Amino acid sequence: MKIATLAAAALAGAALVAVLDRTVLAQQQGGITRTILQRADVCGKSNYEAIMAISELPPGGVGDKHRHHGVEVAYVLDGAITIEAEGRSTTYKAGEVIKNDNEAAHGAKNTGSTTARSLAVYVVEKSKPLAEPVK
């Protein structure tokens, strides 16, 4: 019985490690959670990579002002996300797309009653963090 329990625990641990190896969770200030799905080198640009992630922002959540060292393009899957950048505030709903230009500082908020989710692709410098807070 002990051996079967230990074997099951070891198998569950190995499965968890395999999942965490592929899926990395990155918590950003203010509540944005990014689940990284894939990373790939950008052809001809050895210092850039493309990162695909699911971003989630809970109801009432605010993503503090931040920037990405490259470009971010996203498709809103669920809910609505309000992006504040360059003195403007724009709300994007499910089915709409978002583009944040190279290193443009922006914040995000969810004023809705459901979790806002988007599928995002970032083309960013490898040596820099995916998201960097801006004061």
Q: pLDDT tens-digit profile of 20-77? A: 444 444 444 458 899 999 999 998 878 999 999 999 999 999 988 998 889 999 999 9
Average predicted confidence (pLDDT) for the chain? 82
Going from the C-alpha of 78 to that of each of 19, 71, 81, the distances in angstroms are 24, 22, 9
Specify whether the CB–CB gap between 34 and 25 falls below 8 A: yes
| Superfamily per CATH, domain 24-133 | Jelly Rolls (2.60.120.10)
Percent over 90 (pLDDT), the chain: 53
92 in Cβ contact with 80 (< 8 Å): yes
Q: Tokens in use for 57?
A: 């922002």
pLDDT at 5: 47
How far apart are alpha carbons 128 and 2 in whole angstroms?
A: 47
Q: And the tokens for 78?
A: 């669920």
